[in-house]
Amino acid sequence: MIEVRPFAGLGHADHGWLDAAHHFSFADYHDPQRMGWGNIRVWNDDTIAPNSGFPPHSHRDMEIVTFVRSGAISHRDSLGNEGRTAAGDVQVMSAGTGIQHAEFNIEDEATTLFQIWIMPDHAGEKPAWGQREFPRGDRAGRWEVLASGDPQGDEALPIRADARVLAATVPAGQSVEYLPDPARYIYLVAPTGRIRVNGVEVQSRDGVAITGETAFTVEAIDDAEVVMVDSR
């Protein structure tokens, strides 16, 4: 099963400083048919205006992965962690028993990012945060694992969930293949460029929900970047 979820049909909220599209039910957007996909609970497509951001707020028992598409996001949390995550790079936060954090765009340009929430395998663990640079050139024409429930095996940032977050950059006319377990739930978005997934055309920022497949090919119509989660 390959289902395309057009960007125009996603939930949407424009707060002025934040323009957000919601692939799954979130905040004031509620669709009982889109409460998640596998153990993916949230996939938000956010544009954050310059010199603005999220004031301190709390999370609990959620794995939160932030993939920065352009600009940068600056983080500060109640554990004393601080960091700036730039375009192409990733930060992860295991909320565990509870963490308070703030995220701000202190740049002079808008920041665009995906924030992906994945339900943890176990509740009540100690909170944690981390970030890492992932040069886009390293994933040209191939999948690179960015965050994983098996961080040592995948050489990726750690998350406490049976899931992998991957990305690839694919030049126009080229393709990448993926061989999932058909029992898994795959969700992918191309933040830039049009793609085809097993021949099905997908526009930039559309969501693609996949399950029951043993193989699929992502072909780039334009130069494209693709972000994907493979989850239980």
Residue 5 confidence (pLDDT): 98
Residue 121 confidence (pLDDT): 97
Residue 67 confidence (pLDDT): 98
3-state secondary structure the chain: CEEEECHHHCEEEECCCEEEEECCCECCECCCCCCCECCEEEEEEEEECCCEEEEEEEECCCEEEEEEEECEEEEEECCCCEEEEECCCEEEEECCCCEEEEEEECCCCCEEEEEEEECCCCCCCCCEEEEECCCHHHHECCCEEEEECCHHHHCCEECCCCEEEEEEEECCCCEEEECCCCCCEEEEEEEECCEEECCEEECCCCEEEEECCCCEEEEECCCEEEEEEEEC
Residue 187 confidence (pLDDT): 98
Question: pLDDT tens, position by position, for the chain (232 residues)?
Answer: 999 999 999 999 999 999 999 999 999 999 999 999 999 999 999 999 999 999 999 999 999 999 999 999 999 999 999 999 999 999 999 999 999 999 999 999 999 999 999 999 999 999 999 999 999 999 999 999 999 999 999 999 999 999 999 999 999 999 999 999 999 999 999 999 999 999 999 999 999 999 999 999 999 999 999 999 999 9
Residue 133 confidence (pLDDT): 96
- Are the CB atoms for 152 and 98 separated by under 8 Å? no
Domains of the chain: 2-231 (2.60.120.10)
User: In angstroms, rounded to a whole number, what is the distance separating the alpha carbons of residues 100 and 60?
Assistant: 9
User: In angstroms, rounded to a whole number, what is the distance separating the alpha carbons of residues 81 and 71?
Assistant: 20
Residue 151 confidence (pLDDT): 95
Residue 159 confidence (pLDDT): 98
Name the nearest CA neighbour of 1 among 186, 203, 189: 186
